[in-house]
Structures are given as structure tokens and as C-alpha cells.
Amino acid sequence: MTIDNSRNAWTGTGPEDIDEYLEACSEKSYPADRFIHARCSCDGDWFRLEADAEESAVKRTCVACGASLLMLDSAEY
């Protein structure tokens, strides 16, 4: 796993890279110490991830079926 954050966005090479990204996002508010990798109801496990680091809000969209989900308490923001 490798994360390239040299440009304007973080780009990973594997699902485990999301853990490092979310850990970095959460360290200033509620540090995350456990990660469960998502699986859509269609059984898809590839997602487009949109994150707002200032609001600590994250939305995932399943690449296979297009279903979107605001993660954790993101709907509050």
C-alpha cells in the first residue's frame, strides 16, 4: 500500500490506504483507532470517496451500483 499526497488529493493503491487517510482526518477531533472495510448491499467493495477535511465529513459511493452513503456522523455536517 502506498499513498501519494503530493498533489491536491490523496491517492492510494489499495483498500488499506483508506485507514491511514481516515486516521489523519480524525486525529484533530476524535482519533480513530479501528477501521472496518465497507461492503455495499450489492456486494461491491470499490467506492468513490469524497471527504471534506475541514468538516470531517465523508461520503462513499459504490462504483458498481452508484449507491451513496454519508459515513459515520457526516450527515450532521
Residue 63 binding Zn ion, by CB under 5 A: no
Q: Judged by CB, which is closer to Zn ion: 1, or 63?
A: 63
- Report how many residues bind Zn ion under the rule CB under 5 A: 7
Q: Judged by CB, which is closer to Zn ion: 2, or 41?
A: 41
Q: Judged by CB, which is closer to Zn ion: 58, or 62?
A: 62
Q: Which residues contact 6 (CB under 8 A, 6 or more apart)?
A: none
CA distance 18 to 3: 9
Residue 62 binding Zn ion, by CB under 5 A: yes
Side-chain-side CA neighbours of residue 15 (13 Å): 9
